[in-house]
Amino acid sequence: MPIIERSSYRAPFCLRNGHLQTILASSVRKADAGLYVRERIDTSDGDFLDLDWSRTGSRRVAVLSHGLEGSSHRPYVVGMARMLNRSGWDVVAWNYRSCSGEMNRTLRMYHNGSTDDLDLVVRHALAAGAYDALGLVGFSLGANLSLLYLGQAGETLDRRIRCAAVFSAPCDLAASSRALAAWQNRLYMVQFLRSLHEKVLQKMEAMPGRISDEGYDRIRTFKEFDDRYTAPLHGFRDAEDYYAQCSCGRVLHRITVPALVVNAADDPFLAGGCYPAAAAAQSRQVHLETPASGGHVGFMEIAGDGAYWSERRAAEFLGQQV
């Protein structure tokens, strides 16, 4: 029953608010991505993925998967890369299609179920160095993606993939979509939809007649966006079908390696099934930790080295497994 009853995270007194942590963690922290060396790899459908490496000469490597409309250069990814480097890991932080600063070549973009792209990165990373072990680290969408990947593989998982640590995982995508549609989360929704609209516009310019933003101004929620774009572009019947097929919660029982899932109780993006206590209670591998505070991809600390608790926690957990 790997439910961690007492989280070691204690939010600073002035940061015991989920919205405050969500906003500040993504806006006030500086990120120097000078540690990265970029590599581009090709996909089987004529597209590309941009990978950012930070190597220490280790025989173990961590694959970092960012959140919705994020990138390898977001402060939470750079901070994690630095901490894992310090803890003796090579790191490859990959950018989803359309997220590396250059629009991808195909109509397809990315979504919560893009495990084929994650698998390509994992296989490339294992082939790129003499690695004995690989760990997955994911944030938000990348957290769901990492857990879905492990659950889909089940017993067939490459034995060199040893563990995972994920933060702010929307294990139930439908519940998360409903949470984000709430009035108090309107600011986040507007920002996400604006960013996604920019990508639709770029696709329209690059691929005339294949995609349109007509009526985009009437889209107010992720469900409406996913019904209009995510589902038809990626082979799902509609948003509900997409959520049902791509929520990692449905495959947590099939995960065969130690996986830490850290979801703050005050995360404004999560609700209901995003806190898979029953699945964790029945699993020998899924470790659920639910700090009282932390927001969405927050877990801030006021520390002299500038690191966040999530980074220390991931390094600790992964180090215990490898």
Do residues 219 and 200 lie in contact, with contact meaning Cβ atoms separated by under 8 Å? no
pLDDT at 1 over 60: no
Question: Which of the residue ranges 19-28, 203-212, 256-265 would you say has the lowest mean pLDDT?
Answer: 19-28
pLDDT at 212 over 60: yes
Catalytic residues: 140, 267, 296
pLDDT at 47 over 80: yes
pLDDT of residue 5: 85
Do residues 52 and 21 lie in contact, with contact meaning Cβ atoms separated by under 8 Å? no
For the chain, the average pLDDT equals 96
User: Cα(179)–Cα(185) distance, rounded to whole angstroms?
Assistant: 8
pLDDT at 120 over 80: yes
Domains of the chain, earliest start first? 3-172+249-321 (3.40.50.1820)
User: Cα(52)–Cα(14) distance, rounded to whole angstroms?
Assistant: 34
pLDDT of residue 308: 96
* Encoded amino acid at 54, one letter: S
Tokens at 107, concatenated: 């109509």
